[in-house]
Amino acid sequence: MITIDRISTEIVDLPTIRGHVLSMATMTVQSVVLVRMDFSDGSTGLGEGTSIGGLSYGSESPESIKSAIDCYLAPVLVGTDADNISAARNLIAKAVRGNPIARSAVEIALWDGLGKRLGVPVAQLFGGAVRQGIDVAWTLASGNSDTDIAEAEEMLETRRHRQFKLKIGKRALKDDLAHVGRIKAALGDRARLTVDVNQAWDLHTARDGLRGLEEIGVAMAEQPIDLRQRDQLKSLTDGSAIAVMADEALTGPVDAMRHAGDRAADAFAVKVAQSGGLANAAEVIAIAKAAGIGLYGGTMLESGVATAASLQLFCTVEHWAWGCELFGPLLFTDEVLAEPLVYRDFQVWLPEGPGIGVSLDEERVRRYRRGGAEPVAIVAE
């Protein structure tokens, strides 16, 4: 039996190419937790857990993700069967409540290790890839209309993105609508435009906002209201001509089933980390497909490790009505992968090779490692 011998974690702080403005925070650095899992046969699995904007976005931070893995997940997994991911997931579920991002980071490393030992990509473990790339959106989040327009024009010219998401909700509604309107007028029908409100609106503001966005020609609005208000999200979905997407409200299959049962959204933002891992995210996808709800591949602004893992799952699904936003690695000033993911012809492409298909550039990881310390490791006794 091949066992898990060692699990180590480290926080890597990656500067962004510009300020990334959300309704709750402005990000200039993204902190990712890298997980390395060493197995008794000499193989290694990589994982990653990443939040957005510290604790302003959700209940997990880089520090809490690392702590949950070091103190609770690694101790119960070290020494166990590396190939039995179902058993490992059961141990994880018993050891930790909530903390989906920490759980996802560990699970990704398990799938990566298993794929490498079998000599197959993780996509094969979920039935096989039916596509090699997915249309990828780019978030325009500088907050300045002229800057965002220039950025979008460059992306269209280089054929990197033709779908753009605007982060709004931080300013007054009329100012946000004016900002969105200017960008839509400049881009016209050359690009699809969506917005992400990150829960910033109340119901009354959301009704007015969706009407204004519809007049502008925006295709979809993402999580316009508080994640706890599923009934209000449903009322917006029922009353709006543009698509309404659930994002922060989805933390796994149970939330997906509730939203699907109520038809509370037109689309689901499927995030592997927010779902609690690849297996849970696969269930969220299955629920959406069964309910006829559109799919969108979401991101926690991860580095190439978790982005590659998401691609392995997402490329097993034939139809993504809304594409994906797996642009995280492009937001950083430097790359942590030895071979960067490929972005071309408006798509992000599935990496080749066993496991999740990527490896780390160790020198760059050392350069951005928080405090310069060696990774914390839990080892078999």
| Strand pairing report for 26-39 and 44-50 | antiparallel
DSSP 334: S
Tell me whether residue 167 is one of the annotated catalytic residues: yes
Position 137: which residue type?
A
Distance between CA 279 and CA 261 in Å, rounded? Answer: 21
The amino acid sitting at 134 is: I
Distance CA 9, CA 48 (A): 9
Question: Do 308 and 360 touch, CB atoms closer than 8 A?
Answer: no
Report d(CA 278, CA 83) in Å as an integer: 16
Angstrom distances, CA of residue 261 to CA of 209, 229, 231, 264: 26, 15, 12, 8
- Pairing mode, if any, of strands 4-21 and 294-297? unpaired
Q: Are 284 and 270 in contact (CB under 8 A)?
A: yes
Closest C-alpha to 271, from 27, 22, 51, 121: 51
Would you say the C-alpha torsion 209, 296, 348, 359 has a positive or negative sign?
positive
Q: What is the 3-state secondary structure (H, E, C) of 349-360?
A: ECCCCCECCCCE
Catalytic residue among 66, 165, 167, 271: 167
Return the active site residues: 167
